[in-house]
Chains A and B, each alone.
Chain A
Amino acid sequence: MSMHTHNDDQMACPSCDQLYDMSGLGHRQQARCGSCNHLLAIYRKHAYAHVVAFSISGLIFFVMACRYPFMSFKSSGMESIMTLPQAITQIKGEGMWDLAILVACFILIIPALVMVLTGALGISLLAGWRNYWAKDVAKLIFHLQVWSMVEVFFIGVLVSLFKIAHMATVGIGIAFWSYAAFAIFFTLTLSNLDTFYTWKRLEELEP
């Protein structure tokens, strides 16, 4: 093992740089910084099993959110039903292909990719595989997750729902609820992937 093993349990507060020894945290115990109260880490005994379970559930809801109708609009006798991918192609159809690409990335591609990668990482950590890709996958997840805007999109949809409700009759489809469930599982998955403990485990499993 490397020469840095002696400070495996050492952590510096990301907010104020105070050094801490993180050994001996019990199940569901949180560590907070004594000087600035920043949340340092949460230890969960079954974190990786939860990561795998939540990411698979999240992906199932994601597929449903793409396949089933998201919303329907009824205005002066005309009804149109729309799925999420159709909404994006419609933005492209109105000539705003750059916006369409951004929306597709932020609300569909990046979130789905993060879920797939997190699921794979969770399986690898749970099974204790010593593989060469786990670290790169973890790096990619921590870089990508800031660009996922699942909750932002959901709040945006809610707000615009109220705004257009007086112009047309708006119906909510299965995909709307599926996307809401996806947003919940997305958050649950990532909150079980604690930065400190994930990287500690990755280091232990280095090939």
Chain B
Amino acid sequence: MSRATAASKGLASCHLCQKVASLELNRCPRCGTVLHSRKSNSLNRTMALLCTATILYIPANISPIMITDQLGSSIESTILGGVVLLIQMDSLPVAAIIFIASVMVPVAKLLSLF
């Protein structure tokens, strides 16, 4: 069985309300949102945003994310420094949450998109 996609029949699914309507209508007959079969230039956009994100990810990890001032002494900590600190403080679950959410998942996403 060949794939029957909406686009192959001249139809498009509304991005807001998911109504399947003829592309010739330009606007969704149900909610009035502009109809697109595909997001325009999606590959170019993905590449551009991916490169920007990769570049920004470097200073985000090298420079401090938080500066703590306490009784005159200030401590600068990076994301990974915070994870190490939390492991030393024996709060492993929180360290795991931070590591997964701010290091593992973003890096995996960047790598898989390339």
Contacts and interface: CB of A to CB of B under 8 A. Distances in A.
A162 B94 contact: yes
B49 interface: no
A174 to B, nearest CB: 23
Interface in A6-42: 7, 10-14, 16-19, 35
A12 B16 contact: no
A14 to B, nearest CB: 7
A35 B19 CA distance: 20
Contacts, number: 73
B25 to A, nearest CB: 9
B20 A17 contact: no
B50 interface: no
Given A2-B29, A18-B5, A142 B17 contact: yes
A167 B6 contact: no
Given A19-B9, A135-B31, A7 B20 contact: yes
A199 B18 CA distance: 8
A125 to B, nearest CB: 14
Interface string A56-95: 0000000000000000000000000000000000000000
A10 B4 CA distance: 12
Contacts of A163: 82, 86
B18 A195 contact: yes
B17 A199 contact: yes
A158 interface: yes
B18 A14 contact: yes
A42 B15 CA distance: 18
How many of chain B's residues touch chain A, expressed as a range?
20 to 34
A163 B95 CA distance: 10
B48 to A, nearest CB: 21
B29 A4 contact: yes
B109 to A, nearest CB: 17
A199 B91 CA distance: 46
Given A139-B31, A199-B31, A12 B94 contact: no
A203 B28 CA distance: 12
Contacts of A155: 97, 101
A17 B17 contact: no
A159 B98 contact: yes
Contact of A195 (B11, B17, B21): B17
23 contacts: A2-B29, A7-B20, A11-B20, A12-B18, A12-B20, A13-B13, A17-B6, A17-B37, A18-B3, A18-B4, A18-B5, A19-B11, A35-B3, A135-B31, A138-B17, A139-B33, A142-B16, A143-B16, A159-B98, A163-B82, A196-B18, A199-B17, A199-B31
Interface of B: 3-7, 9, 11-13, 16-21, 29-31, 33, 37, 70, 82, 86, 89, 91, 94, 97-98, 101
Closest 8 CB pairs of A and B: A12-B6, A12-B13, A17-B5, A199-B17, A10-B20, A162-B94, A19-B4, A162-B91
